[in-house]
Chains A and B, each alone.
Chain A
Amino acid sequence: MRGWLWILLACAGGAAGADPRLVWTSPGAIHLGAPSLDGRWLSTVDPDTGNLALRGLRSGEMRKITHKGPRGASNEFAYFSTISPDSTRVAYAWHNDDGFYELRVSPPGGGAARVLFRNEEAGFVQPAAWSPDGERILTLLFRKDNVSQITLIDAETGAVRVLKSLNWVYPKKMDFSPDGRWIVYDSFSRDGAADRDLFALSTDGAREHRLVEGPSEDSFPIWSPDGASVYFASDRGGAMALWAAPVSDGKPAGEPRLVRAGLGRFLPMGITGDGTLYYCVRDGNPEIRVGFIDGASRQVLGSGRVGEGVGPQWSPDGSRLAWLARRGAENFGEESRAITVRNMKDRSELTLTPKMAVISRIRWSPDGLWLLASGSDDKGRGGLYRVDVRTARTLAVAQDPEAPFRGYEGAWSPDGQRVLYHRGGAVFERALDSGEERRVRSGKLPPCDPDVRLPEGAAPPASLHPDGRTVAFTLGRTRPEIWALDLP
């Protein structure tokens, strides 16, 4: 049932040590917004239409800010958003009909939207926070050359000031200090590292300090309303938890302290003026299940769990099952994935971590030595890659900066010497030895989804075992929840 909600009364609201309270959960709850400073609203996206919306944090009211037609009628939809400190404007990313994102500002009661920034060269925008005086919007731009940029965009003129450029792996969150002199963001601790630290960058571009460091994943920083701390998610104590780092004049002022553990897979969204932290939790994990098929009805009769993940694929000889497993810390976008290869005889598992940022789908080669992986490489280039099943060595098959980050849909030729893939509405064939490519006239990839009626709640793709009687599939999905925590 879409749209159902829970609003739990705060237990001892504002008191130190209060328990988190569930504010909103719904299959359609979208966590790409932030609470208003006055704690009345949460900016979000109406899941049915893609319109920008405000959800009343006390009233539960859902107020549409934009008024586009139903999904499917156009390419337009709202994405990340943030509410101005005086709650008179909402800045948001708007996916336009030309296929890229622009930065818009609208009044919260609806009314005409103003396009503040529109540039296809920086076709992804993520408004992160308003300056305390409401004059600038801290915005992440993502450029066509796979560079992300921390920028300040003038809320009136749209003039852009690029403070700092980063590589394509962009900060998970950025925020202003309450005095407007600093911004905090998370980024890799150094070039080539996998862990993130927190940095404070002065808004005049003159100085930068490392606020929080260590071999841990430190991310999603949010400045406290009094300016004395930065709250952040970190696994520095083992599991991911909420921490706070004392800060003074953009510099560390003491050791980080644990604020709250046991918040699950949480993503901090913002803090209200009275010190309530709102965060999203991804509850639940999709399971990989293997079930038997009734020959006549093609229904799955029963199934057993073999692991957590998505997109299972049987090896050609049926001895191994590979799937995509979540790895690393949470983020707003596509989750980071490894490939699990399970030997179904001895139940041993091998985890492959190819040099890929995004893997959306895998397919075994006919000889069982490679997996064809759709996604993006570690430089953010979308396409098709093949991953050595023994070593995780990753080779590009078809790579294109214009390719979607989830990559191309592809399939092996029966002899395993070529790969067929969809690009721009056509099918191409790429020879693996020579790299030569030709357009295929038939224009169709070999079918891969089995003719099986999967149980309710199952998600494609499913994979049919070579015995024709066993199917592997994914059951369940994560459920977004919005929680509130009164900070001590």
Chain B
Amino acid sequence: MKRVAAIVFAALLPAAEHKVPLGLDAYVPAPETNPLSPETAALGRALFFDPALSRDGAISCAGCHDPARAFTDDKPLAVGVEGRKGTRRAPALLNRAYGRAFFWDGRALTLEDQVLKPIENPVEMDLPLEEALRRLKASGKYPPLDEALLAAALSTYVRTILAGDSPYDRYVAGDRSALDAEQLAGLRLFRGKAGCGACHLGPNLTDERFHNTGAGWKDGTFPDLGRFAVTGREEDRGAFKTPTLREAARRAPYMHDGSLATLEDVIEHYDKGGAANPALDPEMRPLHLTAEEKRALAAFLRALTGEIREGL
């Protein structure tokens, strides 16, 4: 009952201008059919944390997308109901409002399409949507919901999860003291010799495109075909979406399969030029970084830790 009151109260609040953290665009894209609103965001937030959306009532969206862990978790591969193991790591739900494709393979083109799929996925929450809606209605905690409103509320809440205002953002905004000498050396490497900025660029530090870095290549094959499963194009075999690097230091382990435990492991992977395979991205090449340069690069990646805001 307390939660219902909170939602109603939020709905009565005047729609304030959406404040975004430093480093992000003031324009937060949302479809015309589902504009950002405090009431929808509040409803989405309540649903996001509700374990009723999983078959066994044990896990909520926040189970894998933990706010305390930058909206991901610490497991290499996502673990669903009854301990069922997925094949990919839970992606961090940061700044997804600015995204153009969703899931590691980009198979969903809108957040509204994406947010319901984990509820039904047998290795995630494994709950038919009809059953989910019946449970939510029976709980008495929510206004009348249908599939579209459920998707609208969850996607709106995800759109409000914004990460920014890191030392890097303050540096880019003109504060020359925001990065120390080692972090600054790392930034130069990031943009220059290490070439990270070829794919990790812009306010969200991602090009939102799909690249084969050799991660997951094992015994001459990719157990997970990645983007190829969506497009059928050979060049997409083993390619996965570039993740944001925001809050990178808080989001171990790394890559789509959680195969790299630390930031240092990630740097080693790229320093080697990734894992050679037939569809390796042309941007991948040995970097020949020195030990000092690797330390600087890691220091810079840690400077991408800032503030996470959620809700309106």
Contact = CB atoms under 8 A, between A and B. Distances in A.
B183 to A, nearest CB: 14
A449 interface: no
B40 to A, nearest CB: 15
Given A119-B173, A119-B174, A435-B285, A147 B27 contact: no
A208 B208 contact: no
B27 A145 contact: no
A165 B197 contact: no
Contacts of A122: 172
Contacts of A167: 202
A121 B17 contact: no
A401 interface: yes
A201 interface: yes
Contact of A401 (B25, B197, B202, B209): B197
A401 B192 contact: yes
A71 interface: no
Contact of B201 (A147, A149, A163, A208): A147
A146 B25 CA distance: 16
Nearest to A161: B26
B25 A165 contact: yes
Given A191-B100, A205-B27, A121 B174 contact: yes
Contacts of A400: 192
A146 B26 CA distance: 19
Nearest to A192: B209
Contacts of B209: 191
Interface string A117-155: 011011000000000000000000001111101000000
Interface string B1-42: 000000000000000011000001111110010011000000
Contact of A208 (B27, B172, B197, B202): B27
A147 B202 contact: yes
A205 B198 CA distance: 27
A119 B173 CA distance: 7
B17 A401 contact: no
A359 to B, nearest CB: 19
A167 B174 CA distance: 20
B203 A163 contact: no
Contact of A379 (B24, B198, B203, B208): B198
Interface in B187-206: 191-192, 197-198, 201-203
Contacts of B29: 208
Contacts of B28: 205
Contact of B25 (A119, A205, A207): A205
A208 B27 CA distance: 8
Most A CB within 10 A of own CB, among B25, B27, B36, B197: B27
A381 B100 CA distance: 23
B26 A163 contact: yes
A165 B208 contact: no
B27 A164 contact: yes
Interface in B159-192: 171-174, 191-192
Given A143-B172, A145-B201, A162 B192 contact: no
Contact of A162 (B25, B35, B174): B25
A163 B197 CA distance: 22
A161 B191 CA distance: 24
Interface in A359-410: 379, 381, 400-402
B38 to A, nearest CB: 13
Contacts of B191: 144-145, 401
Nearest to A160: B173
B30 to A, nearest CB: 9
A467 interface: no
Contacts of B192: 400-402
Contacts of A208: 27, 29
A447 to B, nearest CB: 31
A144 to B, nearest CB: 7
A400 to B, nearest CB: 6
B202 A165 contact: yes
Contacts of B203: 147, 162, 165
A433 interface: no
A146 B28 CA distance: 21
A463 B281 CA distance: 37
Given A191-B100, A400-B192, A145 B197 contact: yes
Contacts of A119: 173-174
Contacts of A121: 171-174
Interface in A154-191: 160-165, 167, 191
Interface string A399-440: 011100000000000000000000000000000000100000
Contacts of A402: 192
A162 B164 CA distance: 13
Contacts of A204: 17, 26
Contacts of B197: 145-146, 401
A263 to B, nearest CB: 33
Contacts of B198: 379, 381
Contacts of B18: 205-206
B230 to A, nearest CB: 15
Contacts of A381: 198
A149 B173 CA distance: 12
Interface in A236-258: none
Given A119-B174, A191-B208, A401-B192, 18 more contacts: A121-B173, A122-B172, A143-B172, A145-B191, A145-B201, A147-B201, A147-B202, A149-B25, A164-B25, A165-B25, A205-B17, A205-B28, A206-B27, A206-B36, A207-B35, A381-B198, A401-B191, A401-B197
21 contacts: A119-B174, A121-B171, A121-B174, A143-B172, A145-B201, A145-B202, A146-B197, A149-B25, A162-B25, A162-B203, A164-B27, A204-B26, A205-B28, A206-B18, A206-B27, A206-B36, A381-B198, A400-B192, A401-B191, A402-B192, A435-B285
Interface of B: 17-18, 24-29, 32, 35-36, 100, 171-174, 191-192, 197-198, 201-203, 208-209, 285
The 10 closest A-B pairs by CB, nearest first: A205-B26, A205-B27, A119-B174, A164-B27, A147-B202, A401-B191, A121-B172, A165-B203, A164-B25, A145-B201
